[in-house]
Chains A and B, each alone.
Chain A
Amino acid sequence: QKEVEQNSGPLSVPEGAIASLNCTYSDRGSQSFFWYRQYSGKSPELIMFIYSNGDKEDGRFTAQLNKASQYVSLLIRDSQPSDSATYLCAAHPTGGSSNTGKLIFGQGTTLQVKP
């Protein structure tokens, strides 16, 4: 079973701090990884994707990928109360699903940013 694992949290950080969200995946051949933000009762929305080892920055968000350790993370700098949401990590698996759009999702980490 190809899995994506996340700590469900909640992760609580003060406003202005850096929030660090982590994700591990079991399919070593996975190539693309996605971070989605989901507000309660709403649909997931894409924040970032990454497919190369290293860091990828977009505004206050930085995605980090370490394929050797099968580890993906999302850093949110200068966290704001509006960042409070559930963050879903997703991986595009290999094998039979590699030529489809299928994504494997983690359970999500709930982030709480306290004013």
Chain B
Amino acid sequence: EAQVTQNPRYLITVTGKKLTVTCSQNMNHEYMSWYRQDPGLGLRQIYYSMNVEVTDKGDVPEGYKVSRKEKRNFPLILESPSPNQTSLYFCASSLHSGSRGNTEAFFGQGTRLTVV
């Protein structure tokens, strides 16, 4: 089954304690990205990766890091989480091509993060 898998689904942590949210896709997609979703603000892109070892900042990258050592995995790292990073996070993957129609994003199940 084609899917994007995120872990954990729920996480409560304390300010400053480093954490990693994992994301893995089995569709051989080149493009992967991380979004955060907050009430009234919609989905905002944090970081994206166009392929292995190719990553770049999205619209709200501050406080986050990513890596893309393998095509299927794209972890999101919060080196020193703060309360303003409390949010619902989604990983997504899609085909790299900009051709019409095949930039559909497949989303993971989401990770609800609370930083206290």
Q: Which of B41, B50, B107, B109 is close to A100, meaning CB atoms less than 8 Å apart?
A: B50
- Residues of chain B within 8 A (CB-CB) of A42 are 109-110
Interchain residue pairs A-B with the least CB separation, the first 9: A101-B31, A101-B94, A107-B42, A43-B107, A51-B100, A105-B43, A99-B98, A92-B103, A98-B98
B86 at the interface (CB under 8 A from A): no
Measured CB to CB, the residues of B under 8 A from A are 29-31, 33, 35, 40-43, 45, 48, 50, 58, 88, 90, 93-98, 100-101, 103-110, 112
**For residue A31, which residue of chain B has the nearest CB?**
B100
Q: Given known contacts A88-B42, A92-B98, A98-B98, is B48 in contact with A103 (CB within 8 Å)?
A: no
> Are A106 and B42 touching (Cβ within 8 A)?
yes
Residues of chain A within 8 A (CB-CB) of B43 are 44, 88, 105
